């Protein structure tokens, strides 16, 4: 029962709102804002992977990430990537890369 309460707390703490925004999908090309959001989330994940522990969370080290946010970061990466994919962003990127022969 504890896990259920923990997960419900996380869902009520913002995860449901985040997922609902994804469900409001609009069939439009991806925006720069979506790319920047994905980039920021990937940067957060990269920092978490490099810092290895969550022991620096007392404000001693600037630029560290809170491991309590890992699930939110991962969900964000999935949601933003899927949105960009569904909006045709991968086709746009592939086309740009094919045209860039340098």
The average confidence (pLDDT) of the chain is 78
Residue 13 Cα distances to 18, 19, 37, 54, 74, angstroms: 10, 12, 20, 21, 16
Q: 15-33, pLDDT tens digit by residue? A: 667 666 666 666 788 899 9
- Global pTM reads 0.68
Quickly state the pLDDT bin for 90 (edges 50, 70, 90): very high
């Amino acid at each position: 029962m504890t896990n259920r309460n923990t997960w419900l707390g996380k869902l009520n703490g913002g995860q449901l709102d985040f997922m609902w925004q994804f469900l409001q999908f609009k069939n439009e090309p991806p925006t720069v804002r979506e790319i920047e959001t994905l980039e920021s989330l990937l940067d957060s994940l990269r920092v978490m992977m490099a810092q290895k522990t969550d022991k620096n969370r007392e404000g001693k080290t600037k630029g560290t990430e809170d491991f309590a946010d890992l699930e939110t970061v991962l969900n964000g990466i999935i949601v933003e990537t899927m949105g960009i994919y569904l909006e045709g962003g991968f086709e746009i990127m592939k086309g740009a890369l094919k045209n860039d022969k340098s």
